[in-house]
Amino acid sequence: MAEVTPLAGGTALLEETPARPRRMQTRRRRRLNLFRYVVFVAFGLFFVLPIYAMVRFSLQGVKPGEYSLKAWRQIASSPDLVGAIEITLELAIITCVVVLLLLVPTMIWVRLRVQWISRTVEFLCLLPLTIPAIVLVVGLAPVYRTIRQHAGLSALQLFWAYAILALPYAYRALAAGLDAIDIKTLSEAARSLGANWLTVMWRIIAPNIRQALLNATLLTGALVLGEFTIASLLLYTNLQVELYNISRATLNAGVLFATSAAALIFTFVLLLILSFAGRRRRGRG
Amino acid sequence: MTSSVTEAHSAPARAGVEVRLQGLHRRYGSVVALDGLDLTVAPGELVALLGPSGCGKTTTLRLLAGLEDADGGRITVAGRDVTHLPASKRDMGMVFQAYSLFPHMTVSENVAFGLRLRHAGKADRDRRAREMLELVGLSEQADRYAHQISGGQQQRVALARALAIEPQVLLLDEPLSALDAKVRALLRDQIRRIQLEVGITTLFVTHDQEEALAIADRVGVMREGHIEQLGPPTEVYSRPATSFVAEFVGLTNRLAGQVRGAEVTVRGCALPLVEHDVADGQVVALVRPEAVTVASQASEDSGPLVGTVIATTFLGATSRITVDLGDTTILAQLSTADAAKLPAGSRVTLKIRPDPVLVSVDSPAVTEA
Amino acid sequence: MAAAATTVGDRSARAVRRPSLAWTGTLPFLCYVGIFLLLPTGIVLWGAISKPTGHGLTLSNLKLLGSSAARGFFLNSVELSAITALVGALLGAVLAYAVASGNPNGVVRRIFLAGSGVLAQFGGVTLAFAFNAAIGPSGGFLTHATWYYDFPQGIGLIYIYFQIPLMVLVFLPAVDGLKVQWREATENLGGSTLQFWRHVGGPLLAPAFLGCTLLLFANALSAYATIVAWENQISYVVTQQISVAMTSEVGLSSANEAQVLALGMVVVVALVMTAYALLQRRTARWLR
């Protein structure tokens, strides 16, 4: 996963929907609906089929045509796989925290006190989109040699690199949230009432950008769950790498597909939450 | 269908045509937008459809333009039934409220676009565009883009574009609503001037009654899908047919009164009734501020009502004063000079001129300040 | 932190100089990005122009880019990326239009947007597996595509699977920006649907479409995990070769090969992204 580099110009997921539905002549509306129906069915099939195949394969029993949850149960009984899942989930959490800690104070600070540096910060945050992971990892190899010497061999150390990969997405999400509220006024009001900077950030600003924080977290999480390139080339084992290894080592594809399907469904639910939570919030606000 | 226009300011290539709407019905789901609307616009006439949002005025315009299909009724233009004709074949020019200029074309290209669609030659297109831009006074901006000109100028370009194809009918959908007040007033007069010059039958939709009264030949006050009153501006203003029209057009005082026979007595003033068949009893009389005369308590001109001035609204040549009568307030309109003699706090007497008034049997409410 | 109101020279000078230290608040961020983004990038660029022996700089490594092998990889990358970008862009644009022309608050739109968000991220290892399961010659559920392991068809199809949703995500805002008044004005002036798309809709969406196609191109160019999961024995594209060069123990020249190829990639991607950014500016002006 995370082969994607959507850029400034917006991920439609995070943006406002346009105003009222259009009214048009019956004739055109009918033709348009036919077109839409055909398009949705055609594309729907195309996208669903590989996923269906994967899920179906994962439910395959011993004899063709039979169903069995054996493959799904095997996920739990394979120590390497469970270990990889654990590590990846932990990595996701750590990366989310690091990204937020890194970006939120910085972005708020820039908006409040150092506006002139904001172009630079934006450029740096969007730079990872122009430097593909495969290129970055070439330069990260020596850096990680040092890390391995001083901080141990755990795959959790990947978070350093993952935070960088997540920067563009998290930045866009947080920028959208911060632009929507008037930080300057809020913080000045709070400060005039005696709050220190920590209080301002934690009690005043953070609650108002809850949606953006959620977005940034979910996007970062999805990215970490799907990351393969850097982990693999830095010789660590995370979920995707483990799946890859299994695929090369064994003919038992069932477990493979079960895990893949699980990971996919998990991410889908995550992003669906993002999409629906976003709409509802805006409706009330 | 280009014609070779030779005059500088396009004199009408064809005279205005009659537009007839009969029994138009339109429903959106369970909401009835138009309820059997009838309207005939005479050739060269400008009819303004006026009403609050949701009354169906824009729907009427869009049905006429063909941008939506009617659920029932007939639309006849120049004697021809166009009810089932697609919008692109109706030969009407429309000016939208906003955003309608194509951003990737210059002003001149925008204006010439309709001709381009009709496969007119480049020379003809350019000539026509130039004429139209001269008509609306924007020849200087021919090579600019939409984002480089002001909102008022954009609407003038939209008007030029609509007229360039020499349509039979001109439709304007709240063209001034998105503009500043000052620009609105200027542009409104300009639109009227051009419309008269070209002589085109026009339907103008607005929610601003001042606009409608200022430029229309006839005003149609709409409410909940039908026309409450259709007539010249002076008539709609001074002889409103229903209380809705009286309250929507211009300001109205709502005063409690007692009907007996053909008169209503409002606070000691006897006023004739517009409608003669109102039952005796308690009513609310609708009195225009101009019908209320005010004099300071000391003068000889005293009237039966007594009150204190609480506010004065300066409107230029005239002013509107709000007088507190104790249990309610009343609005009066005077010349500014007279109003200046009655500052806030003065005790005054008032008299209501015996113009025929409308009454309504709803419960009395406080007059709008 | 109100500036001192006194006009004593020294005091006010200090008060003015104070704000200029505020930028240090961004130091943690800058240091982090410096170490984990700029430094590695620098290492790559430095390695690309370093002598294989490790002493001194040279541009001769760049000749590697001109070698037939390298050219082969780049051509493959460009071919694969261009085809999947174009096909993905065209199909994605159609799907985006279908989504945009419906109820703006409807369920269908939300599902397709969320779905696009997921599927655009669903590249890599798991996607290759899914396709293997669906149409792989050795066990496909739906059909056995003999061309599955052919380049660029097999991998191209897989790429298209995530290119289309990506196109929907980045192109949808532009389609939403097409004002309904433009369509109605065109109709009113006598234009047909075809004429609308030819004179108005098409020209207005063209920069956005082109820009998004470039984005898809850069995306495909940078992809690694998917193609490695699809076929790991043969190196077809630059990204695969970079990893081979990185993990290969053969000879010193390989050490620089990875960096040189990486440099080549960065240059291409940077050019494409710059063009994208410029096109986006034009789009934003028209279709805000």
How far apart, in whole angstroms, are the C-alpha atoms of residue A282 and residue A213?
15
E strand or H helix at C120, and its extent?
Answer: helix C107-121
- Residue in C181, C190, C204 closest to B100 by CB: C181
Return the pLDDT at C16.
52
Top pLDDT among A56 and C184 is at C184
- What distance in Å separates the CA atoms of residue B101 and residue B106, rounded to the nearest whole number? 9
The neighbouring-strand residues paired with B220 are B49, B230
pLDDT digits (tens, 9 = 90+) for B313-366: 888 888 999 998 888 888 998 898 888 888 888 888 888 888 888 887 765 443
Two tokens, residue A85: 């899942």
**Is there a single domain that holds both residue C41 and residue C135?**
no
Nearest-angstrom CA–CA distance, C268 and C11? 53
**Mean pLDDT value across residues C237-263:** 78
Task: State whether C147 and C114 are in the same domain.
Answer: yes
Answer whether C189 sits within 8 Å of B165, measured CB to CB. Answer: yes
Return the pLDDT at A61: 64
How many distinct helices (H) and strands (E) make up chain B? 9, 20
Kindly determine whether residue B69 and residue A25, on different chains, have CB atoms separated by under 8 Å. yes
User: Searching chain B, which residue's CA lies closest to the CA of residue C207?
Assistant: B104
- Kindly state whether residue C15 falls inside one of the protein's structural domains: no
B337: phi then psi, degrees, rounded to nearest 5: -60, -45
Are residues C73 and C51 part of one domain? no
Question: Is A20 in CB contact (< 8 Å) with chain B?
Answer: no
CATH number of C213's domain: 1.10.3720.10
The answer to whether position C18 is within a domain reads: no
pLDDT digits (tens, 9 = 90+) for C107-156: 888 788 777 877 777 778 888 888 887 887 766 667 777 788 888 888 99
Whether C185 sits inside 8 A of B94 (CB atoms) is yes
Chain A residues closer than 8 Å to B66 by CB: 25
Provide the residue count of chain A: 285
Higher per-residue pLDDT: B219 or B289: B219
Share of chain B above pLDDT 70, in %: 93
Residue A64: asked if its preceding bond is cis (omega within 30°), the reply is no
Domain that holds residue C103: 68-286
Please name the CATH architecture into which domain A78-284 falls. Answer: Orthogonal Bundle (1.10)
| B248, C75, C249 from B84: Cα distances, Å | 34, 57, 78
B218 strand-pairing partners: B47
For the record, the structure tokens of A64 come out as: 């063709």
Q: Please report the residues numbered 124 through 183 in chain C whose beta carbons come closer than 8 angstroms to any beta carbon of chain B.
A: 179, 181-182
Question: Which of A3, A36, A57, A201 to probe by mutation at the C interface, max C CB count within 10 Å?
Answer: A3
Cβ neighbours of B124 (radius 10 Å)? 16
Q: Are C88 and C160 found together in one domain? A: yes
Q: What is the DSSP string of B298-318?
A: TSS---SEEEEEEEEEE-SSE
Three-class SS state of C147: helix
Distance CA C206, CA C204 (A): 6
- The pair phi, psi for residue B268, each rounded to 5°, is 90, -10
Subunit contact B68:A25, Cβ cutoff 8 A: yes
Q: What count of other Cβ atoms lies within 10 Å of the Cβ of residue A88? A: 25
Hey, what amino acid is at A251? L
Three-state secondary-structure class, residue C171: helix
Q: Which residues face B351 on adjacent strands?
A: B293
Q: Which of C102, C226, C258 sits opposite A3 (nearest CB)?
A: C226
Per-residue confidence (pLDDT) for residue A249, from 0 to 100: 74
Mean pLDDT of B115-130: 93
Pairing of strands B347-352, B305-314: antiparallel
Tokens of residue B245, six digits: 């029209």
B164-175: average pLDDT:
94
- The yes-or-no verdict on residue A59 having pLDDT over 80 is no
Asked whether residue C200 falls in the same domain as residue C258, the answer is yes
For residue C221, the chain A residues in CB contact (below 8 A) are 132
* Mean pLDDT, range B64-89, rounded to an integer: 92
* ipTM for the assembly: 0.82
Residue A282 has pLDDT above 60, yes or no: no
> How far apart are alpha carbons C135 and C156 in whole angstroms?
14
pLDDT tens digits, C78-92: 999 999 999 999 999
Could you tell me the CA-to-CA distances from B277 to A18, A185, B73, B262, B274 in Å, in that order? Answer: 52, 63, 34, 8, 9
The CA–CA distances, whole Å, from C240 to B145, C160, C253 equal 48, 19, 17
Question: In terms of domains, do C166 and C30 share one?
Answer: no
As a whole number, the mean pLDDT across chain B is: 87
Give the model's pLDDT for residue C189. Answer: 93
Domain presence at residue C277:
yes
pTM of the model: 0.81
Average pLDDT on A242-249 reads 82
Q: Are residues C44 and C109 in the same domain?
A: no
Chain A contact partners (≥3 CB pairs within 8 A): B, C
Q: Tell me, what DSSP letter sits at residue A60? A: B
Q: Is the dihedral of CA A230, A138, C84, C111 positive or negative?
A: positive
Q: Do C256 and C275 share a domain, yes or no?
A: yes
Domain count, chain C: 2
Which helix (DSSP H) or strand (DSSP E) does residue B48 occupy?
A: strand B46-50
Per residue in C181-233, pLDDT tens? 999 999 999 999 999 999 999 999 999 999 999 999 999 999 999 999 888 78
Is the same domain home to C76 and C104?
yes
Pairing of strands B292-296, B31-41: unpaired
Do residue C126 and residue C153 come from a single domain? yes
| Residues forming beta bridges with residue B260, ordered by sequence position | B263
H-helix or E-strand containing A231?
Answer: helix A229-233
* Residue B231: φ, ψ to 5°: -175, 175
Give domain status of residue C9, yes or no: no
Beta carbons of A13 and C131 less than 8 Å apart:
no
In b/e form, how buried is each residue of B323-332, taking b as 16+ CB within 10 angstroms? beeeebbbbb
User: d(Cα B102, Cα B107) in Å, to the nearest integer?
Assistant: 9
Query: CA-nearest residue of chain B to A23?
Result: B68
Is the CB of residue A201 less than 8 Å away from at least one CB of chain C? no
Q: How many residues does chain C have?
A: 288
pLDDT of residue C108: 82
Q: Is residue C16 in a domain?
A: no
Residue pair B170/B195 in contact by the 8 Å Cβ criterion: yes
The pLDDT score that the predictor gives to residue B206 is 94
Summarised one tens digit per residue, pLDDT across range B17-76 is 999 999 999 998 888 989 899 999 999 999 999 999 888 999 999 999 999 999 999 999
C11 domain-assigned: no
CA–CA gap between residue B119 and residue B86 (Å, rounded): 19
Interfacial residues of B (vs C; Cβ cutoff 8 Å): 65-67, 86-89, 91-94, 96, 98-100, 102-104, 113-114, 116-118, 147, 161-162, 165
Average pLDDT over residues C36-41: 94
Contacts of B17 (CB under 8 A, 6+ apart): B43, B77, B78, B168, B169, B201
Over range A213-218, report the average pLDDT.
85
Q: Give the pLDDT of residue C97.
A: 93
Q: Which tokens sit at C252?
A: 């010193």
Chains A and C form CB pairs within 8 A to the count of 307
Residues 263-282 on A with a CB inside 8 Å of C are 263-264, 267-268, 271-272, 274-276, 279
- Interface test with chain A among B69, B75, B85, B97, by most A beta carbons within 10 Å: B69
Do C127 and C168 share a domain, yes or no? yes
For B261, residues 6+ apart whose C-beta sits below 8 A from its C-beta are B280
Question: Quick one: pLDDT at residue A7?
Answer: 39
Q: Over B147-182, what HEC string results?
A: HHCCHHHHHHHHHHHHHHCCCCEEEEECCCCCCCHH
Distance from CA of C186 to the nearest CA of B (A): 8
- Among partner residues C180, C225, C262, which is closest to A138 by beta-carbon distance? C262
Check A26 against B66: CB less than 8 A apart: no
Tell me whether residue C20 is in a domain. Answer: no
Cα separation, C284 vs C183, whole angstroms:
19
In a domain, C52, yes or no: yes
Average pLDDT, integer, range B162-183: 92
Under 8 Å between Cβ of C287 and C100:
no
Strand partners, C36: none
Residue B258 has pLDDT above 70, yes or no: yes
Locate all alpha helices (DSSP H) within B121-266, ordered by sequence. 122-136, 151-164, 181-198, 209-215, 233-238, 243-248
Residue located via tokens 């393969």: A228
Expressed in angstroms, the distance from the first to the final Cα of chain B is 53
Residue type, B254: R
Closest-CA residue in chain C for A133?
Answer: C222
**Res B9 pLDDT > 50:** no
Q: CA nearest B263: which of B273, B277, B274?
A: B273
pLDDT at C59: 75
